Amino acid sequence: MTLLHHNIQKLEEIRLLLVEIPTEVYSKKKDILSGSSIGQHFRHILEFYVCLKKGLPDDKICYDSRERNILIETDKNYARYIIEELTQFISEIHSDKKINLMANYSVNPDEQIEINSSLFREFAYALDHTVHHLAIIRIALSGENESIKIDANLGVAPSTIRFRKQCVQ
């Protein structure tokens, strides 16, 4: 399976999880998330992919310029629609290419830097970023309705899953 297929698979995992999460749980602000909601974490994940899509025509990706679309964090159906669009976008990519990552790691707004990267490297980053935020979402869901079906490996890195399997053997 290719890197792009793994990204699509992870987005599909999110889409299926969205079906399980009640709307009131999705948009509820939680202390364990420092006052943010599970929906905000899903939005954050999806908007990194949206940044990839929007930046690709100019070969410049800037995660700092995310839209922060409140509809994604409050409407599960809209989030699923975005996932469908992103899945289509990813499925149409057939090769890697050089791109530039625009970033500002300072609180000073005038310190943006440009970093050489590649499209596939940014998809690898998006995948790792997604797993990280799914781990946070899993923690937030742990105190919720027990009828929410959560995969045992939600938010667990593939290398950790492989290591755990090796230890059991």
In this structure, how many other beta carbons lie within 10 angstroms of the beta carbon of residue 119? 20
Per-residue pLDDT, 51: 97
Per-position pLDDT tens, the chain of length 169:
799 999 999 999 999 999 999 999 999 999 999 999 999 999 999 999 999 999 999 999 999 999 999 999 999 999 999 999 999 999 999 999 999 999 999 999 889 999 999 999 999 999 999 999 999 999 999 877 667 888 888 888 888 878 978 888 7
Query: Using CA atoms, how far apart are residues 141 and 154, in angstroms rounded to an integer?
Result: 11
Burial of 118: CB neighbours in 10 Å, binned 0-12, 13-18, 19+? middle
Report which of 141, 161, 137, 163 is spatially closest to residue 6, judged by C-alpha positions: 161
The string over 4-13, giving b where at least 16 C-beta atoms fall within 10 Å of a residue's C-beta and e elsewhere, is beebbebbeb
Name the nearest CA neighbour of 41 among 10, 5, 68. 68
Predicted local confidence at residue 144, as pLDDT: 72
Q: Does domain 3-168 have CATH number 2.160.20?
A: no
